[in-house]
Amino acid sequence: MEEIREQQDETSIKQLNRLFGSIENFYYSVVQLGYYLPEVTESTVTSDYLVKVVKKVYWCPKISEIKPGGAKSIKKYTKIKVFEVLTKVLEDNQIDDIGLRISRLPSKEYMLNLIWVLDNNNSIFDLVPQDLEDSSMIDFPIHLFNNVNTQIFPPGQGALFKRTKEQQERYLKSKYEVKIQQKQNRVDMLSKEKEKVVQRKQALERKLNSMQ
């Protein structure tokens, strides 16, 4: 019985350079395979990144999985905050690496779309972020205004009603606690990123030593 061997795709660098010729051609060729990539101008997009997407080393969703306009969030979130949420979602889905680095992040829109694919019920898509929502309450019969046009004139600064001193103190305390937690989350994320960089450095050193 003839032995059947699995054929591996091995191509010379010269042939690949002739095939694509530029990072732009390589990028749009991968897009034609159906992958949802960051914009070609993003620093994330390198030949190494695209190779690992094609070889499925990096997780990358297909364009068909993206819901146009679905991943909406308020502008209050910074790019770093969105990356923090994305990192947590990836961990929850046991996805190790998608090729993004905190030093060269893609757009917020791209990262939000990745979150949407994996967790479209994530709180980052709430109309009002949970960590910024003001829960201060007053006794007011708001139901009486259900059928009343309350916007006859252009809205002002929205400061007609004030918190009591106690409410203001609770609000500020909660706000500071959230900010402290956000800073801690960022420290934890940077620590993990540093650990990955160290591991990559050590792997390169091992390769270098094996060549000597």
Q: What would the pLDDT profile of 63-77 be if each residue is shown by its tens digit?
A: 998 876 666 665 577
pLDDT at residue 60 is higher than 60 = yes
Highest mean pLDDT (candidates 3-12, 64-73, 98-107) = 98-107
pLDDT of residue 2: 40
Give the rounded percent of residues in the chain with a pLDDT score beyond 70: 81
Q: What is the SS3 assignment for the chain? A: CCCCCCCCCCCCHHHHHHHHCCHHHHHHHHHHCCECCCCCCCCCCCHHHHHHHHCCCCCCCEHHHCCCCCCCCCCCCCHHHHHHHHHHHHHHCCCCCCCCECCECCCHHHHHHHHHHHCCCCHHHCCCCCCCCCCCCCCCCHHHHCCCCCCCCCCCCCCCCCCCHHHHHHHHHHHHHHHHHHHHHHHHHHHHHHHHHHHHHHHHHHHHHHHC
Q: Which of 4-8, 46-50, 119-123, 191-195 has the highest mean pLDDT?
A: 46-50
Q: What is the pLDDT of residues 85-98, one digit of tens each?
A: 899 999 999 998 89
pLDDT in tens, 190-206: 777 788 778 888 888 88
What pLDDT does 168 receive? 78
Mean pLDDT of the chain: 79
Q: pLDDT tens-digit profile of 141-169?
A: 778 878 877 777 665 555 667 777 887 78
pLDDT(8) > 80: no
Average pLDDT over residues 31-44: 92
The answer to whether residue 133 scores a pLDDT higher than 70 is no
